[in-house]
A = this chain, B = another copy of it.
Amino acid sequence: MRAQRVELFVCPMTTPADTDGLQALVDSGKIKPDTLVALVGKTEGTGAHDDWGRVWADVALREWTSKFLAIPVTEVAKQVIFVLSGGCPGVITPHIVAVTRELVEVQDEGPHGGADGRLVVGRAGSDAMSPEEVGRMGQIRKVAEATRKAMDDAGLTNPRDVHLVMVKVPGLTTASIKDAESRGKTVVSHDLTFGPEGAGAYANDAAALGVAMALGEVPESALSDAVVRRDWDLYSEVAMTSSGGEKRHGEVVLFGNSSTSQSAVRIGHAVTKDFIDAEGVRNALRSAGLHFSSGLPSETELSRLVHVFAKSVIPGSDQIRGQRITLLDDSDAYQIGKALGGMLIASVTGRTANYVSGGERNSHQGPPGGNIVAAVVRAD
């Protein structure tokens, strides 16, 4: 039988257009045109809507990938999924993670059976989503369907083996709103931002609920247009989602562990119980396989850490453990909220090259007040 061998390569970037790290991986034979499945990273810049650092990184990385794969730039998206999250405030090192997957022939189930699975990755695209579906059940169902396909592509059948689902979906634009309304349809919001009633927030949250539906975290019967960004008790513990106006289809890249995998690494995840919960971060490390029953991981254990993916959604309440904070009133909350997530991770792991996205207020990505943390470690 054929089994996956998945690897993650973390490349710090010195500018948004820095592809030297990736090129070095190519030159040393670590990534090949047919093994590169995703580029996931944090780009420096404002992290805002018009973040030219992120846009430039996207252009530069696509050009590089196009040359590497020897295909036109417009074809790159069909082969490699890009998840670039803008903004590295505080202690977040700009970096790109190359995710590679090769299929290797194995005799039987391989040596990693049972509870000790290893990393697999699956990808899938969704059907096209119309503007009137954005932030609503149409988007939820199409993401759920794509998530199931990505599980299938990963060779996973048990949702409990899934630890991270990164999703990109269409948002709304002035043009797509006009299109929908010209056809007599309504849209979920006229606010194009990621604010509390913003179309971007609705799209992200519908995508998260789609993952939750696919993985059985939320029953389909509990879902409707009316619960999106209203019923925060419905959420996924593994969905990290983003949206962009220019897209028409959803894209899913899903990470889990499989007993058949031949990877040297495995993944785990946990959720924080609130915004300052360092123990939630440590639980993610434990889930991934770092050994420390209580207290702190040793430097030796930490040396097995490959990467951390974390959300840093701002709590919707002005209280943390009964004490008031003023973050909700802060005009810089988006930046500061993201920066604080970076500190929470770095202060536990001692590493700053972490994928931390967030800054928005409330989300179906993780429980109310808490956030998702996934970790990939080298198996011991």
The tally of residues in A whose CB lies under 8 Å from a CB in B reads 67
A55 lies within 8 A of chain B by Cβ: yes
Bound CA–CA A59/B53 (angstroms): 13
A323 touches B352 (CB 8 A): yes
A49 — nearest CB in chain B belongs to which residue? B329
CB distance from A234 to the nearest CB of B (A): 16
Interface string of A58-89 (1 = CB under 8 A from B): 01000000000000000000000000000011
Residues of B within 8 A of A52 (CB): 16, 44-45, 51-53, 56
Flag whether A344 is at the interface (Cβ < 8 A): yes
Residues in chain B near residue A14, CB distance under 8 A: 324
Q: Bound state CA distance, A230 and B296, in angstroms?
A: 37
Q: Are A352 and B93 in contact (CB under 8 A)?
A: no
The yes or no answer to A23 lying at the interface (CB within 8 A) is no
Q: Are A325 and B90 in contact (CB under 8 A)?
A: yes
Q: List B contacts of A306 (CB < 8 A).
A: none
Q: Give which listed residue, B17, B50, B53, B353, contacts A323 with CB less than 8 A.
A: B353
CA distance A346 to B325 in the complex (A): 12
Partner of A89, one of B277, B295, B330: B330
Instruction: For A325, give its contact among B88, B278, B326, B335 (CB under 8 Å).
Output: B88
Number of copies: 4
CA gap between A17 and B88 in the complex, in Å: 22
Residue of B nearest to A281 (CB): B347
Complex contact B195–A193 (CB within 8 A): yes
A196–B193 touching, CB < 8 Å? yes
Asked if B12 and A323 sit within 8 Å, CB to CB, the answer is yes
- Verify B323–A93 contact, CB threshold 8 A: yes
The answer to whether B44 and A326 have CB atoms under 8 Å apart is yes
Chain B residues positioned under 8 Å from A358 (CB to CB): none
Which residues from B are CB-within-8-Å of A227? none
For the complex of A and B, the 10 pairs showing the least CB-CB separation, nearest first, are A295-B295, A50-B329, A191-B197, A52-B53, A197-B197, A278-B347, A191-B196, A56-B56, A276-B346, A343-B343
